Amino acid sequence: MSTAKKAVVRHGFKTGEFVVYPSHGVGQITAIDEQEVAGFKLELFVVSFAKDKMTLRVPTAKAASVGLRKLADGEIVGKALATLTGRARVKRTMWSRRAQEYEAKINSGDLVAIAEVVRDLYRSEAQPEQSYSERQLYEAAIDRMTREIAVVEEITETEALKKIEGQLAKSPRRAGKGEAAEAAEAEEGEEDLQEEAA
């Protein structure tokens, strides 16, 4: 295919590549543009977030300082998934303080830190209902994690979500339940996620 555009590479990133922008999650570099700002030529990565119908322009020279990064490798994905099976670590501090910490982890763009938020805020059917703000943070974290794992492993977001839920089902608080009950709960949880996304 001689008509295919050659990927342009700047600062280790290339056009067409999926990347992670800390406060927005997975996006794709669709182009590298030049703009003139106050008489200076500025080279920009054009990062498209299809699911959010949003486009960001990030100066190529500032890519590292804003935290733009390549997708996690298989080892980090494995570490993040393993994190989900650990015991939740919930500090005994005020919710507003914990919420800020969770928000900071989600916006860090660090897949393992995001997995910690998913693990800590996860609720099985047998556990008390989450507050609205807990649910919002949980949804944001699981959405970030799902998107990145889907792109890294080249699977659908639904398959990535099932993988995450499968790991959560192995967490200590779920021990002692039959596998069938766990599978049913995982499916119900997925239906809830899909209803809320709609």
Question: What per-residue confidence (pLDDT) applies to 174?
Answer: 45
Residues of the chain scoring pLDDT < 50: 1-4, 174-198
Question: What per-residue confidence (pLDDT) applies to 90?
Answer: 83
Is residue 19 within 8 Å of residue 70, measured between CB atoms? Answer: yes
Amino acid (1-letter code) at residue 158: T
Question: What per-residue confidence (pLDDT) applies to 129?
Answer: 79
d(CA 32, CA 44): 6
Question: What per-residue confidence (pLDDT) applies to 127?
Answer: 74
Is residue 141 within 8 Å of residue 135, measured between CB atoms? Answer: no
Question: What per-residue confidence (pLDDT) applies to 173?
Answer: 63
d(CA 49, CA 44): 16
What residue has token string 């050659």? 6
Encode pLDDT of 121-142 as tens digits.
998 777 777 889 999 999 999 9
Is residue 125 within 8 Å of residue 188, measured between CB atoms? Answer: yes
